[in-house]
Structure 1
C-alpha cells in the first residue's frame, strides 16, 4: 500500500484494500495466542507439536503471499521509473531506486530468514530478526527523506493520471501534416528561444501550461510525433547547452558541477550519465577535445 501511495497520485484507500493486511493480522493473532498460553502455563508437548507443524505451514503460505506482493511491487516500480520520464526532466530524487534495490534484494533476505527460523540455533534466529529491524530502519530513513513525487494541483494530478494510467489515455483526433508541423515548430521554437530546460525543476505540466496545452496532449504529441518522451527531449536540449558552455573559453573556469547546473541538470552524476549516453564521451573529454 505504501508503494501504491507513492506511484499512484490519485489512488484512494478503499475497504477492500484492507485485505492486504489480513495475513499480518493472522500472524499477530497466532503469536498473541501463543504468548497468552505460555503465560498461563498450559504449554503441553501436544500443543507444541501442533504449533510447530502449523507454524511451518503458515510460514510457507506467508512466504508465497509475500513473494506475490514483492513481484507486484517490483513490477509497479519498474513501470513507475519509465512513466516518471513522461513528467519530469530530472528523475534522480523521484524514481524510487532505493526502494527498487531494496525489493530486489528481498527474495534473498526472505529466503535466508525462512531458513534461519527453522534452525535450532538461537543466534541465527536472532540474526534474522536483526536484519529485519535493519530493513525497517532503512525504509523509514529513506521514506522520511523521499521528495514528493507528484507536487501538483488536483487538476494537474487528474490530467497526469491520464498519462500514468495508459488505459485512461483519451483517443486524440488524427492530426493533419500541417497541424503536426505547426505544433512541432511551436514546441521546438519555444524551447530554443525561452530555454525553460535551464530550470532544473521543469516538469511536463509546467511546460504544457506555458505552451497552452493539456499535459496529456503534450505527452501524446512528444511520443507520437517527436518519438521521444519529455525526459529525453529536455535533456537533449540540456546537453546541447552544456556543449556550448564546454566550448566557451570564457566559461573555462566552471568545473563539471558548475556546467551541470548552468545547463539545467540538478546533479553531476545525472549530467555525466546523460551527456555520455547522448554524445558517447564524457563532458571532460568533450571539453579537452574542443579546447586543444
Structure 2
C-alpha cells in the first residue's frame, strides 16, 4: 500500500462529509472536510514528488492549513454560536507567507521549490520547525477545547455519550502518535513502511465517527445564544446579578420538584435544559441559574440524581425482577449501560449488581 491510496481515502472522505453536511453542524463539518483534504494533499506528495517535483509547493502549502482547519472544526463543534471574525484570519498568516514565497520561487526558478542550491537546507529546516511548532500549539489549544467541552455539556445535557466528542480527542492522540513516530524514526520498525496502512485505518475510523456525529446543540438559534452565555458565565466564574430573587427561586424550586415527580421528564434519555425549561415555562437562563446558583448542582447531575433514585427503586422492586440490570438502566432514563454503571457507582458507591445483592441479603 502506498501513500497515494491513503491520500485518496482522505480526499474521498472529505467529499463524502461535505455532501452529507447537516445544516445544524455545517460549519464544523466544512472545516473538518478542509482538514481532510489538506491531509490528503500532504500524503500524496510523498508519491508524486519525484515525478512532479513542483507539486511539493501545493502540498507544503496545504500542510500549514492542517492544524488551523482541525482547530476551527473543533471550535465550531464546541460552541453553540460562533462567528468567524477578522481576527481569526491571523491563524492563516503562516500559510499566507509560505504560499507567497513558494509560488514566487516556482515562477522564478526551474528547480523544485524546496531545493534551490543556496536555500535548500535553511528553507527546509525552517519549514519543518514552523510546522512542528504550529502543530504543537494547535494540538494544545484543541485539547483544551475538547476537555472543557466535556464539562460544558453537563450544563445543558443529561446524555453526553453522543455529544462529548471523545472521538476527536482520540484523533488528537493519533496525531500525537504520528508526530512521535516521525520524530523517533520508527517508520521501518516492522521492516516496511507501515504508515500508509496506519493512515488508511485512521481514515476509516474517522469516517465512522464523523458521519454519525449528531447535533450537539439541538436548540433554536435564540436558545443557542443563551446556552453560549451560560457556558461563558460558567467559564468566567464571575458573580453575576441574580436572575431570580429568593421568593421566585423558592416557588420555581417547588414547581420543578412537582414536575419531576409527576411527569418524570428524567425518563427521557435525551432530556435537555431547554426542554425542561419549557415545561416550567421559563427561559433556559432562569433554569440554569436556579440549578447552579440556588441548588448548586449542574443540570446533568440534577437529572441523574432522579434517575439513580428511580434505578434504586426498580432494583428493590419485586415487580421488576424480569428486568436485567442493563434494562433497569434504560428504564430509569439512561441511554447506555456504561453511562448507567458509571453514574450509579459514582453516586451510590457500588455497582447496581452489588446494590441489588446487598438488598437481597437484608
Answer whether TM exceeds 0.5 for this pair.
yes
Give runs of aligned pairs for residues 1-292 of structure 1, distance below 5 A.
Answer: 1-24=72-95, 42=111, 47=116, 50-116=119-185, 126-128=193-195, 131-132=198-199, 134-166=201-233, 171-173=240-242, 175-292=244-361
Higher RCO (CA-CA < 8 Å; seq separation 6+): 1
Deviations along 1:44-100, one digit per CA (max 9) or x if unpaired, are 998256323311221111111111111111111111111100010010110111212
Check conservation: 2:266, 2:306, Cα contact below 8 A.
Answer: yes
Counterpart Cα distance in 2 of 1:15 and 1:45 = 31
The TM-score normalised by the length of structure 2 is 0.69
Counterpart Cα distance in 2 of 1:138 and 1:52 = 37
Counterpart Cα distance in 2 of 1:242 and 1:165 = 34
Counterpart Cα distance in 2 of 1:6 and 1:131 = 26
Check conservation: 2:156, 2:273, Cα contact below 8 A.
Answer: yes
Q: Cα 1:253–1:127, aligned 2, differ >3 Å: closer, same or farther?
A: same
The TM-score normalised by the length of structure 1 is 0.84
RMSD: 3.4
Alignment coverage as a number of residue pairs: 288
The gaps in structure 2 that reach 5 residues or longer are 1-71
Counterpart Cα distance in 1 of 2:281 and 2:86 = 39
Counterpart Cα distance in 2 of 1:45 and 1:93 = 44
Q: Secondary structure at the match of 2:119?
A: helix
Counterpart Cα distance in 2 of 1:189 and 1:45 = 71
Counterpart Cα distance in 2 of 1:238 and 1:258 = 13
Deviations along 1:176-226, one digit per CA (max 9) or x if unpaired, are 543332222221222122110000110000001110111122112211111
Q: Cα 1:210–1:30, aligned 2, differ >3 Å: closer, same or farther?
A: same
Counterpart Cα distance in 2 of 1:270 and 1:125 = 42
Counterpart Cα distance in 1 of 2:318 and 2:145 = 46
Check conservation: 2:102, 2:113, Cα contact below 8 A.
Answer: no
Q: CA deviation at 1:30?
A: 7.4
Counterpart Cα distance in 1 of 2:237 and 2:151 = 17
